[in-house]
Amino acid sequence: MAQRATTIRDHRTEPNGTLLERAFADIRTSMEVREEFPEAALAEARKAAEDPDLPERDETALAFITIDPPGSMDLDQAMHIERDGEGYRVRYAIADVPAFVAPAGALDTEVRLRGQTIYCPDTRVPLHPAELSEAAASLLPDTERPAYVWDMRLTPDGTRDTAELYRAMVRSVRRYTYEEVQQLIDDGEAEETLLLLKEVGEHRIRRESERGGASLPMPEQEVHVEDDGTYSLQFRPLLPVEDWNAQISLLTGIVAAEIMLEGGVGILRTMPPAQQRDVDRFRRQVKALGVEWPKGMVYGDFLRTLDRTDPKHLAIIHDATALFRGASYEAFEGAPPEQTEQSAIAAPYTHVTAPLRRLIDRFVLVVCEALTQGHDVPAWAREALPTLPEIMDDSGRLAKAVERACTDATEAAVLAHRVGEQFDAVVVDEAGKKGYQVQLTEPAVNALAEGRAELGSEVRVELVQADIATQQMRFRIV
């Protein structure tokens, strides 16, 4: 869905930058985030960076490219897309983390305790030491790197034809940002891989719609650190290229899940279908807000029509979160688990494209490479599969809690000097006895507000409290 561009004025943390960074540090301490790596793990990482287990296959002649946010150094994926007769050939190189992490070693033990990278406004707490995640294992431009290469051939309508996974040396020739890619495509100046990314991405969006898949177009609330050390908040609409790029990752995750189901061993990312009573309630909420939901249109297609800049649509998007619950991980060997689909994607799916930042991906890569190349899945990987769901669930809860607390602290810092002022807002959800969930127009803040209002209405709210240390804010609907 095309989004109307929105310009949100930055709201900065005035004199509270130091106090805010102290709050971030306190949050990590109180939530027991593992910030420092043990020396034994660091020693292993340094040794592996100097002498990794490199593959023999060489695909450095292919012009792979990466697309990431500005300043990113932990580059998990690089792609090369070309025409293959009437269809497409997508080669998706994924950082070869297994080449650097010895099973059962000190580093392996530490990353299993972490589970995933945790992002904070002032820093990130990586899954792997920077010697690997930002250097030796990262698919940085103009460097040769070991990778797991997904080689996928697609039909003219973007459907998977064949796929295999193998290890090879690769070389990225260009690191793009999403903004650069979008501008090049819009101006008609993009290279072939980027032009084909749009074609394949749009095909995959259509295939997702046909499957009954859905995505929740939530506005992205971002915390930025400025050059002068202050912090700012803003809502950012996603660019079309981000959706096309995500479709390549989703395609890979679907293919990996299918390979593991066919091979009888692996781990899936699952989500049960939305219950009919939740869909019915959601349909009533849409009707109450005066928005048309055409008869016969499934909710996934309906969500694609929503505009995140429209107040009523914004309330509907928040209501739709009830349809996206219950995601979990399911390890299996032999018979597949009872639930195999990720219902939002409407297909079997797994995580396999971000091994620098997420633990499970390393094991899925090893399993899928063994299955597609016809050799046994290594015992260390097979034995680890049943332990991964708990690790990933726990680390996921921690990452979300840290991110939410840091955002709350930033919101409080941005508004600490404005207690007593009034702001324009949209009522996006009910919060029981606590009042309503509101989204301020400026600054980009989501918060609870006491009082009475109608869902989807535009209101004025008064800031009653903003405490950085406790990450507490209170508004009153006026």
pLDDT digits (tens, 9 = 90+) for 417-448: 899 999 998 888 888 888 998 888 778 788 89
Confidence of residue 219 (pLDDT cuts 50, 70, 90): low
List residues bridging with 342 in a β-sheet: 271, 347
Q: How big is the CA angle at 152 (ends 151 and 156), to the nearest 5 degrees? A: 145
> Which value, to the nearest 10 degrees, does the dihedral of the CA atoms of residues 203, 205, 210, 214 take?
170
- The whole-number average pLDDT for the span 306-327 is 82
> Residue 124 phi/psi, 5° resolution?
-130, 145
HSE at residue 130, side-chain half, CA atoms within 13 A, is 7
CB contact at 8 A, 353 and 255: no
Nearest-angstrom CA–CA distance, 344 and 300: 8
CB contact at 8 A, 245 and 185: no
Nearest-angstrom CA–CA distance, 231 and 463: 20
At 287-296, the pLDDT tens digits run 877 889 998 8
pLDDT, position 429: 83
pLDDT of 15 above 70: no
Least-confidence region, from 8-12, 272-276, 423-427, 455-459: 8-12
At 181-204, the pLDDT tens digits run 999 999 999 999 999 999 999 999
Q: Could you tell me whether strands 160-176 and 64-67 are parallel, antiparallel, or unpaired per DSSP bridges?
A: parallel
Nearest-angstrom CA–CA distance, 82 and 166: 19
SS3 387: helix
CB contact at 8 A, 370 and 376: yes
pLDDT higher at 271 or 434: 271
pTM summary value: 0.89
pLDDT, position 6: 28
HSE at residue 198, side-chain half, CA atoms within 13 A, is 16
CB contact at 8 A, 290 and 300: no
- The whole-number average pLDDT for the span 448-453 is 92
